[in-house]
A = this chain, B = another copy of it.
Amino acid sequence: MYALAIHGGAGALPRVPFTAAREHAYRHGLMQALSAGQRLLERGGCALDAVEAAVTVLEDDPLFNAGRGAVLTADGSVELDAAIMDGCDLRAGAVAQLRHLRNPVQLARRILEDAAHVFLVGDGAERFAVEAGFALVDNGDLITPDRREQWQALEDQLTRTGAASGTQALALDQPPLGTVGAVARDHGGRLAAATSTGGTAGKRSGRIGDSPVIGAGTYADNRSCAVSTTGHGEWFLRTVQAFDIVARMRYGGYRLDAAVSEAIMRRLPDLGAAGGLIAVDHHGEIAIGHNTPIMFRASVREGEAASTAIY
């Protein structure tokens, strides 16, 4: 049986509650992405293609903090990170600090296939993209009016409080919302995971969170599970969160749901870390955990109805 789970970020409750229309838009966006992956899995497609397809849809949706519609750096531009991993053979591709790619997850996939590297960043990653036939876009094409407005509000807040602007990292009172990710098990028992993000709103240029780091934000191993995380990136880097779930199963004999619950509901809160993750194991069991009030998420298993959830 196949199984697919996706997320669109975890975080605090918004200061102004979502309108019904906005909530509907989020759920609709999640369903579009879930369907894109599910269609491939139904036809016997592989887990790797399914997670890439689902994340591509979320990157293209301006509601989520990935691809077009990502949050802006302190400098007012977009810097995108992504990773993808194949649980069959541990091949992986990761990219960070992309400023001119519309779908970072697709470049990560190309790096995975190319196999000479795992992790490429910045201009060097974009040169690889050009050689591989990807079209570069203007950074401005990745910025939506909503995100420009959010950035301006943060800048104004900094000016009012007298803090240095520009390269100064902005302190926000909530974890970044909107990182996207997908995990899948296909008919053949293959697992894959992918994650994509614009990082933290107002981040310092060059800051990398957990999303593109193999082990921290993204991991897949057919022998145990596939994981994609979202939340407090610096803490998920320190705890190597995605691989921690894999290791709990592999070395500690944990079941997937126990591994996820122990990590998300006990270990991370003990450290003061907020966030969530989605995971699927080699049996097709799905586990989703979050210690934040909100996590945009959706999942489906063969023969069962798809579901979306926010709170």
Q: Write out, one digit per residue, whether chain A residues 198-240 have a CB within 8 A of any chain B CB (1) or not (0).
A: 0000001111110001111001000000000000011001111
Q: By the criterion CB–CB under 8 Å, are B124 and A204 in contact?
A: yes
The yes or no answer to A271 lying at the interface (CB within 8 A) is yes
Chain B residue contacts of A169, Cβ below 8 A: 116-117
Given contacts A214-B216, A251-B247, contact A97 B122 (CB under 8 A): yes
Q: By the criterion CB–CB under 8 Å, are A121 and B214 in contact?
A: no
Q: How far is the CB of A93 from chain B (nearest CB, A)?
A: 10
Interchain CA distance A216-B85 in the complex, whole Å: 15
Chain B residue contacts of A94, Cβ below 8 A: 237
In the complex, which of the residues B122, B204, B243 contacts A247, with contact meaning CB atoms closer than 8 Å?
B243
Q: By the criterion CB–CB under 8 Å, are A167 and B237 in contact?
A: no
Q: By the criterion CB–CB under 8 Å, are A96 and B117 in contact?
A: no
Q: By the criterion CB–CB under 8 Å, are A238 and B125 in contact?
A: no
Interchain CA distance A96-B301 in the complex, whole Å: 40
Q: By the criterion CB–CB under 8 Å, are A204 and B237 in contact?
A: no
Q: Secondary structure of the A side of the interface?
A: mixed
The yes or no answer to A138 lying at the interface (CB within 8 A) is no
Q: By the criterion CB–CB under 8 Å, are B119 and A207 in contact?
A: yes
Q: Which of A156-211 contact B (CB under 8 A)?
A: 167, 169, 204-209
Interchain CA distance A81-B92 in the complex, whole Å: 20
In the complex, which of the residues B206, B238, B251 contacts A92, with contact meaning CB atoms closer than 8 Å?
B238
Q: By the criterion CB–CB under 8 Å, are B244 and A208 in contact?
A: no
Q: Write out, one digit per residue, whether chain A residues 96-133 have a CB within 8 A of any chain B CB (1) or not (0).
A: 11000000000000000000111111111101100100
In the complex, which of the residues B91, B240, B251 contacts A252, with contact meaning CB atoms closer than 8 Å?
B251
In the complex, which of the residues B92, B123, B206 contacts A127, with contact meaning CB atoms closer than 8 Å?
B206
Q: How far is the CB of A71 from chain B (nearest CB, A)?
A: 16
Q: By the criterion CB–CB under 8 Å, are B92 and A125 in contact?
A: no
Interchain CA distance A234-B112 in the complex, whole Å: 11
Chain B residue contacts of A91, Cβ below 8 A: 238
The yes or no answer to A90 lying at the interface (CB within 8 A) is yes
Q: By the criterion CB–CB under 8 Å, are A240 and B237 in contact?
A: no
Interchain CA distance A139-B97 in the complex, whole Å: 22
Q: By the criterion CB–CB under 8 Å, are A127 and B213 in contact?
A: no
Chain B residue contacts of A116, Cβ below 8 A: 169, 234
In the complex, which of the residues B120, B208, B244, B254 contacts A119, with contact meaning CB atoms closer than 8 Å?
B208
| Residues of chain A whose beta carbon lies under 8 Å from any beta carbon of chain B | 85, 90-92, 94, 96-97, 116-125, 127-128, 131, 167, 169, 204-209, 213-216, 219, 233-234, 237-240, 243-244, 247-248, 250-252, 254, 271
27 contacts between A and B (CB under 8 A): A90-B271, A92-B237, A116-B169, A118-B238, A119-B207, A119-B208, A120-B206, A121-B206, A123-B205, A123-B206, A124-B167, A124-B204, A124-B205, A125-B206, A127-B167, A127-B204, A127-B205, A213-B215, A214-B238, A214-B240, A215-B237, A215-B240, A215-B243, A219-B240, A247-B251, A251-B252, A251-B254
